[in-house]
């Protein structure tokens, strides 16, 4: 005669459902700075290992241009796919207002743009 099976714990059921249905993608905002990209990679690795999530939506912030944002994302995606076997999806940043872009330029360069009105 076999012994009765102990009831499943909630964590076991949640893990099973996550594997069956797949987990929802995690969304991360990553600044276009080396240290922030390294921290994002570490966070992606930890989430993938601990929660079994293999799909991430990434928004690159603080890039000087949309081309720089895309380049930062492409590099992060290549490394994450190769070493972590995860899927990254690029989220386009909403267009900046011209005044906000000029203000960001001032913060980065330390000088006011020549076309600004103070």
* pLDDT tens figures, 15-30: 665 555 566 899 999 9
In a domain, 43, yes or no: yes
In a domain, 28, yes or no: yes
In a domain, 7, yes or no: no
Tell the residue number behind the tokens 């690029």, with chain if given: 90
Task: Tell me the H-state helices in the chain.
Answer: 10-21, 34-51, 66-84, 98-109
User: Is the model's pTM score more than 0.85?
Assistant: no
Question: How many structural domains does the chain have?
Answer: 1
In a domain, 30, yes or no: yes
CB 91 within 8 A of CB 27: yes
Confidence of residue 11 (pLDDT cuts 50, 70, 90): low
Phi-psi region of 110 (alpha: psi -120 to 50; beta: other; left: phi over 0): left
pLDDT digits (tens, 9 = 90+) for 38-73: 999 999 999 999 999 999 999 999 999 999 999 999
In a domain, 13, yes or no: no
Which residue range forms the structural domain that includes residue 34? 22-109
């Amino acid at each position: 005669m076999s012994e009765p099976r102990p009831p499943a714990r909630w964590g076991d059921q949640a893990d099973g459902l996550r594997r069956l249905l797949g987990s929802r993608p995690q969304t991360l905002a990553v600044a276009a700075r080396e240290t922030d990209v390294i921290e994002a990679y570490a966070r992606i690795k930890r989430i993938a290992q601990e929660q079994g999530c293999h799909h991430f939506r990434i928004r690159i912030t603080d890039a000087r241009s949309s081309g720089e944002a895309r380049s930062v994302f492409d590099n992060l995606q290549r490394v994450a796919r190769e070493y972590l076997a995860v899927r990254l999806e690029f989220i386009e940043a909403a267009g900046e207002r011209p005044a906000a872009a000029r203000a960001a330029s001032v913060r980065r360069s330390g000088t006011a743009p020549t076309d600004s009105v103070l």
